[in-house]
Amino acid sequence: MKSAILNKENFSKKEIITLLNSTGELRRQLFEKAAADKAAHLGNKVYLRGLIELSNICSKNCYYCGIRKDNKNIERYNLTDQEVIEAADFAFKNNYGSIVIQSGEMQSANFTTRITDLITKIKKLSDNKLGITLSCGEQTRDVYAKWFDAGAHRYLLRIETSVRSLYEKLHPNNAEHSWERRIECLNSLKDIGYQTGTGVMIGLPYQSISDLAEDLLFMKKTDIDMCGMGPYIEHEDTPLYAHKSHLLPLNERFELSMKMIAILRIMMKDINMAATTALQAIDKLGREKIIKAGANIIMPNITPGMYRNNYALYQNKPCTDESADDCKNCIAARVKIAGAEIAYNEWGDSRHFSKKNNKKLAP
Ligand code: 5AD
Ligand code: SF4
Ligand code: FES
CA 315, CA 326: separation in Å to the nearest integer?
21
Give whole-number Cα distances, 130 to 49, 100, 117, 179, in Å. Answer: 10, 10, 15, 32
What is the reported pLDDT for 363? 35
**What CA–CA distance (Å, rounded) separates 215 from 234?**
20
Name the pTM for this structure. 0.96
Exposure string of 68-98, with b = 16+ CB inside 10 Å and e = fewer, is beebeeeeebbbeeebbbbbbebbbebebbb
Which pLDDT value is given to residue 356?
Answer: 85
Per-residue pLDDT of the chain (363 residues; tens, 9 = 90+): 778 899 988 999 999 999 999 999 999 999 999 999 999 999 999 999 999 999 999 999 999 999 999 999 999 999 999 999 999 999 999 999 999 999 999 999 999 999 999 999 999 999 999 999 999 999 999 999 999 999 999 999 999 999 999 999 999 999 999 999 999 999 999 999 999 999 999 999 999 999 999 999 999 999 999 999 999 999 999 999 999 999 999 999 999 999 999 999 999 999 999 999 899 899 988 988 999 999 999 999 999 888 888 989 998 898 888 899 999 999 999 999 889 999 999 999 999 999 987 654 433
Closest to 348 in 3D by CA, of 44, 115, 40: 44
Query: What's the start-to-end Cα distance of the chain, in Å?
Result: 44
Atom 3 of ligand 2, residue of closest alpha carbon? 65
Count of other CB atoms within 10 angstroms of residue 30: 24
DSSP label at residue 242 = G
What integer pLDDT is reported at residue 358 of this predicted model?
65
Atom of ligand 3 nearest to the CA of 331: 3
Domains in the chain, CATH or no CATH each: 5-356 (3.20.20.70)
Please, what sign has the CA dihedral across residues 142, 146, 149, 154?
A: negative
User: Which ligand lies nearest to the CA atom of residue 298 in the structure?
Assistant: 3
311 lines ligand 1 (CB under 6 A): no
Ligand in nearest proximity to the CA of 199: 1
Give the residues surrounding ligand 2 with Cβ less than 6 Å away: 58, 60, 62, 65, 67-68, 104-105, 137
Give the model's pLDDT for residue 3. 84
Query: Measured from the CB, is residue 199 less than 6 Å from ligand 3?
Result: no
Residue with the smallest CA separation from ligand 2 atom 2 is: 104
Residues in the chain: 363
